[in-house]
Chains A and B, each alone.
Chain A
């Protein structure tokens, strides 16, 4: 097997606040292979956005990485000096944000925002040509005219395509897409997501897609990490995850999405996510879990292999068979 695109190992992110320290990311580990479509799934507060930002060292102080490693091309990004990380951003690893209206600078044209990442080797004419090419790749009609537009003159979907174009400009090895369609109209969400995955496959990039939309995950993604309360609850290939979910949270998620499993009625997960400041010992999902016992609340729950390339952070996995699917 070739070298993985990204190896995240035991990543920890803390945010000191006046009320106390928020443990946003608590020992997250996963690996992404080259060309793989990988998803980070979870509700708000699960730590998936923090993880992405931590990977590119884009955390806002006082949030900071307090442990673990992020290995890219054999080097750990966590202790790297800022100037070196800058060289990897955009080039080796690129990121697309959630809301293109706020992520694009309102006073610069589309062309300026694309070409400012291309300045290194090319002449202005070449940059322009490349910008047009990129816009065409992401499906923007009449790209030459669009170059001179400002973000507020474009539709939401077009803005997101522009952001995508910027992300792909230097053909990174890995693209991080943080909920790229949440701010868009429902009707074009699927369109944009398919575009992202299609481009990813075309260009041979690895993709980490952060989303809470299980439907999309089911259709487009190779491997999934389900996050809860700052940890990875379950990690598996998509088909395997939906066929044999081995964590109560995953089961709950699948059961609460209309259309995925028609054998059962919709069941929302009772309760709310835990407060990440005063997080106790034991499984964070225990208060909401139907299978929880005292053991679950006692100590650190290990992340164990429960199937072929399938891990779960639960000690009750034997009891879960038959809950959903098989």
Chain B
């Protein structure tokens, strides 16, 4: 067995060279967005029109992903579904990010009762497992895309809050802040100009993985019937609908999952790439 290795990471970004993960992720994202946007052009089928003659056809040239129990082309539905999940993924993270960053910054900078209130709230929300709380909220609000935004918004901000608060606390105690105040800089200028630029990157890094989380959560909600309403081609819902036909139509449930996986890998690559970039620049 070799001795425990201590090499410098081979995959670490080299200054001046494009980061391989970021490039791959970027390309994958472009393809994904293109697929979602160009769906009407790329496929002759309609995502929701039923054609019972074509029920449960196995994958073939005319139907690369097969058809479902209503005769709808699965590939078409997957492509149209991309738009739904991407849209929700992109939009649902905005409020948590912004609200979380602001509350976290306030809690970290002002301390005292602001900190206590924010952090107690964070603690309480964190105490309930994420999916459970989101589902509970949706149970009472009812399903639908708007409600998904509300539920995720209400729960998802806490991680950002904690993250940014931690960074702000750390920055606050660094010497350059004391120096700036000694020089007479106004508080808000210090916050905006100095502390935030250093406190925000970790939140941005988390943002990339949060998008995946939101997309997976949306799919889970769709799977449980709590998400986007049918007949919209949301991937999670498609997988759920396909459950009845696992023996005679396995493609209905499995194809949308591959799309999910593709999306997940895209954002993981992008996330890791951004993280590496931000770290290198910080050095």
* Closest B residue to A57 using CB positions: B3
Nearest-CB distance from A11 to chain B (Å)? 20
- Apart from A17-B8, A60-B6, A61-B7: 8 A-B pairs, beta carbons within 8 A: A18-B8, A18-B14, A61-B3, A61-B5, A61-B6, A62-B7, A62-B8, A82-B3
The dominant DSSP class at the B interface is: loop
**In the complex, which residues 5-56 of chain B have their Cβ closer than 8 Å to any Cβ of chain A?**
5-8, 14
Nearest-CB distance from B162 to chain A (Å)? 28
Nearest-CB distance from A260 to chain B (Å)? 38
Nearest-CB distance from B108 to chain A (Å)? 30
CA distance A62 to B14 in the complex (A): 18
CA distance A62 to B3 in the complex (A): 12
* Closest A residue to B15 using CB positions: A18
CA distance A18 to B9 in the complex (A): 11
Residues on B with C-beta less than 8 A from A60 are 6
* Closest B residue to A17 using CB positions: B8
CA distance A61 to B10 in the complex (A): 13
* Closest B residue to A82 using CB positions: B3
* Closest B residue to A60 using CB positions: B6
CA distance A62 to B5 in the complex (A): 9
CA distance A17 to B7 in the complex (A): 10
CA distance A82 to B14 in the complex (A): 33
Q: Mark A14-46, 1 if CB is under 8 A from B, else 0.
A: 000110000000000000000000000000000
Residues on A with C-beta less than 8 A from B8 are 17-18, 62
Q: Offer 11 A-B interface pairs, CB within 8 angstroms, sorted by A.
A: A17-B8, A18-B8, A18-B14, A60-B6, A61-B3, A61-B5, A61-B6, A61-B7, A62-B7, A62-B8, A82-B3
Residues of A whose CB lies within 8 Å of any CB of B are 17-18, 60-62, 82
Most chain A beta carbons < 10 A, residue from B3, B7, B14: B3
Nearest-CB distance from B154 to chain A (Å)? 41
Residues on A with C-beta less than 8 A from B7 are 61-62
CA distance A190 to B5 in the complex (A): 37
Q: Which 8 A-B pairs have the closest CB atoms?
A: A60-B6, A61-B6, A61-B7, A62-B7, A61-B5, A82-B3, A18-B14, A62-B8
**In the complex, which residues 217-269 of chain B have their Cβ closer than 8 Å to any Cβ of chain A?**
none
Residues on A with C-beta less than 8 A from B14 are 18
Residues of B whose CB lies within 8 Å of any CB of A are 3, 5-8, 14
Residues on B with C-beta less than 8 A from A61 are 3, 5-7
CA distance A308 to B14 in the complex (A): 53
* Closest A residue to B5 using CB positions: A61
CA distance A235 to B25 in the complex (A): 59
CA distance A157 to B125 in the complex (A): 48
Nearest-CB distance from A233 to chain B (Å)? 30
Residues on A with C-beta less than 8 A from B5 are 61
CA distance A60 to B3 in the complex (A): 9
Nearest-CB distance from A20 to chain B (Å)? 14
Nearest-CB distance from B116 to chain A (Å)? 32
CA distance A62 to B8 in the complex (A): 8
CA distance A10 to B147 in the complex (A): 74
Nearest-CB distance from B16 to chain A (Å)? 11
Nearest-CB distance from A178 to chain B (Å)? 18
Residues on A with C-beta less than 8 A from B6 are 60-61
CA distance A82 to B4 in the complex (A): 12
Nearest-CB distance from A92 to chain B (Å)? 19
Residues on B with C-beta less than 8 A from A62 are 7-8
Nearest-CB distance from B9 to chain A (Å)? 11
CA distance A18 to B12 in the complex (A): 11
Residues on B with C-beta less than 8 A from A82 are 3
Residues on A with C-beta less than 8 A from B3 are 61, 82
CA distance A17 to B8 in the complex (A): 9
* Closest A residue to B1 using CB positions: A82
* Closest B residue to A16 using CB positions: B8
CA distance A158 to B7 in the complex (A): 34
Nearest-CB distance from A292 to chain B (Å)? 36
Nearest-CB distance from B251 to chain A (Å)? 48
* Closest B residue to A58 using CB positions: B3
CA distance A82 to B5 in the complex (A): 14
* Closest B residue to A62 using CB positions: B7
CA distance A18 to B3 in the complex (A): 22
Residues on B with C-beta less than 8 A from A17 are 8
CA distance A60 to B6 in the complex (A): 6
CA distance A60 to B7 in the complex (A): 8
Nearest-CB distance from B230 to chain A (Å)? 55
CA distance A18 to B5 in the complex (A): 17
Nearest-CB distance from A43 to chain B (Å)? 25
* Closest A residue to B12 using CB positions: A18
CA distance A298 to B8 in the complex (A): 36
Nearest-CB distance from A172 to chain B (Å)? 21
CA distance A62 to B7 in the complex (A): 6
Nearest-CB distance from B265 to chain A (Å)? 29
CA distance A82 to B8 in the complex (A): 22
CA distance A82 to B2 in the complex (A): 9
Nearest-CB distance from B4 to chain A (Å)? 9
* Closest A residue to B6 using CB positions: A60
Most chain B beta carbons < 10 A, residue from A17, A61, A62, A82: A61
Nearest-CB distance from B76 to chain A (Å)? 49
Nearest-CB distance from A21 to chain B (Å)? 14
